[in-house]
Amino acid sequence: MNDEIEFFNGAPAFTVGQFADILNRVLRASFDEGVWIEGEIEGLKRPQPHLYFTLIENIDGKKAQVNINLFAGPLKNVQAKMRQQGIELKDGMKVRLYGRPEYYGPFGKLNIIVTDIDTQFTIGDIAAQREALLKSLLEKGVDKPNKKLSVPLVPLRLGVISSSQAAGWADAQQTLLESGIGFHISFVDVRVQGDDAPPQIVAALNTLSRRKDIDLVLLMRGGGSKGDLAAFDDERIAHAIARCAHPVFTGIGHQIDTSIADVIAHTAHKTPTACAKAVIAYVEEFMGNLSWSAGELRRVTERSLERATNRIGMCIERLKTRPKLVLERAQQRIEMNKTSLRLLDPATVLAKGWSITRASSGRIVRSISDVAQGDTLVTTLIDGQVTSTVEEVV
């Protein structure tokens, strides 16, 4: 290119190509060490092997944007750094990118040719969004409804939401089988990471919530990075758990952080296996209480039978001795009555010197008014009778 600048009416004059070249020279001189630029990804396109999108920022309702080009070589390095954190570039994500500005003459566009990314910036933004969402959910009381539900006394009918390919679910399933308890499991196979995970998990929660043959819902996945577990911080999942008609137990294999799903659920566990063990513990507690109650019932029954046996023995003994005692007492009363009767016998009275006087009609004379002069009287003594005639009544 001819470096000599032409002028027209006192101002520099360029062809389009010259102007594009001048712009790039200025950009390279101004940003010789490159530039970090922050914004939100929009319109991400994935033509292989490159990646193109727009980085935007809304300031007081006004939109600013710049085009981003991630070519194949730098893209591999950026994606490797993102994978280490368990995240991937997607629309709506806030990022801090490093590159150099370039004016692309054929399209007349200013682009940032990106070669690096600050993953910690993105992670920090994700964490800030998560905390803001969690605060909002707690203020609205979304964490309370599922916790108020009572766990059935014997939770044997389990609705499990997980990926059929997840190692965590395989471990939990083995734990349930080895318990020897006859669990009935209704399994819903879903994605447990990525953009498709939240809507699939929400649909599964809604489906199991409508079923009447479910005691507990277990939401599980194995371990992973923060990015891998980001789906469980989704607001849609939080509200679906809060609406669920059954208690929701989570078994999400996170290491340190607690997911929003854990906070909203009835009970949270660190791993799918721990979740399975918790359910087993509920059933074993019931079985233990049932065994104790059966033993207590047996002991009470045995004591009752022992007391009844003792009472029967006493009754038998009474039946053996009571008649004899009753007869002896009756004999005593008879003897007493005989004595009383003997005392009342007229012969006994006569033996004491008494006598009985009767008129000739046989009527006992009790008073002088019962006789008259000339009446014949018969007096009975202990050893005979005396007949006499009344000569005078005095």
Place of tokens 């600048």: 5
Domain ranges of the chain: 31-130, 142-284, 348-389
Which CATH superfamily hosts domain 142-284?
Succinyl-CoA synthetase domains (3.40.50.261)
**pLDDT tens profile 345-372:** 676 766 777 788 888 888 888 888 888 8
pLDDT of 1 > 70? The answer is no
For the chain, list the strands marked E by DSSP. Answer: 6-8, 11-13, 35-45, 51-59, 62-70, 94-104, 109-117, 157-162, 184-189, 216-221, 248-252, 267-269, 356-359, 376-381, 384-389
Mean pLDDT check: name the lowest of 11-15, 45-49, 61-65, 129-133.
Answer: 45-49
CB of 158 within 8 A of CB of 183?
Answer: yes
CA distance 331 to 283: 70
CB of 153 within 8 A of CB of 133?
Answer: no
pLDDT of 236 > 80? The answer is yes
* Predicted local confidence at residue 37, as pLDDT: 93
Question: Could you tell me which residues come within 8 angstroms of residue 72 by beta carbon, excluding any fewer than 6 positions away?
Answer: 49, 50
* Predicted local confidence at residue 10, as pLDDT: 78
CB of 208 within 8 A of CB of 244?
Answer: yes
Q: Across residues 179-202, what is the average pLDDT? A: 92
Q: Across residues 166-177, what is the average pLDDT? A: 91
Mean pLDDT (the chain) is 87
CA distance 202 to 240: 6
Most confident of 84-93, 193-202, 298-307: 193-202
Please, what is the end-to-end C-alpha distance for the chain in angstroms?
Answer: 192
Q: Across residues 169-198, what is the average pLDDT? A: 92
* Predicted local confidence at residue 116, as pLDDT: 94
* Predicted local confidence at residue 267, as pLDDT: 95
pLDDT category, 229, cuts 50, 70, 90? confident
pLDDT of 257 > 50? The answer is yes
Rounded (10°) angle between helices 235-243 and 119-139: 30
* Predicted local confidence at residue 140, as pLDDT: 95
CA distance 25 to 388: 184
Longest distance between any two alpha carbons in the chain, whole Å: 201
* DSSP string for residues in 284-336: HHHHHHHHHHHHHHHHHHHHHHHHHHHHHHHHHHHHHHHHHHHHHHHHHHHHH
pLDDT of 224 > 70? The answer is no
Q: Across residues 54-76, what is the average pLDDT? A: 91
Closest CA to 117 of 76, 81, 83: 81
Q: Across residues 195-207, what is the average pLDDT? A: 94
Give Rg (Cα) of the chain: 56
**pLDDT tens profile 124-166:** 888 888 889 999 999 999 999 999 999 999 999 999 999 998 8
Region 31-130: CATH code: 2.40.50.140
* φ and ψ of 41, to 5 deg: -70, 135
Q: In what order do the strands lie in the sheet with 267-269?
A: 184-189, 157-162, 216-221, 248-252, 267-269
* Predicted local confidence at residue 7, as pLDDT: 79
Give the pTM: 0.61
* Predicted local confidence at residue 394, as pLDDT: 75
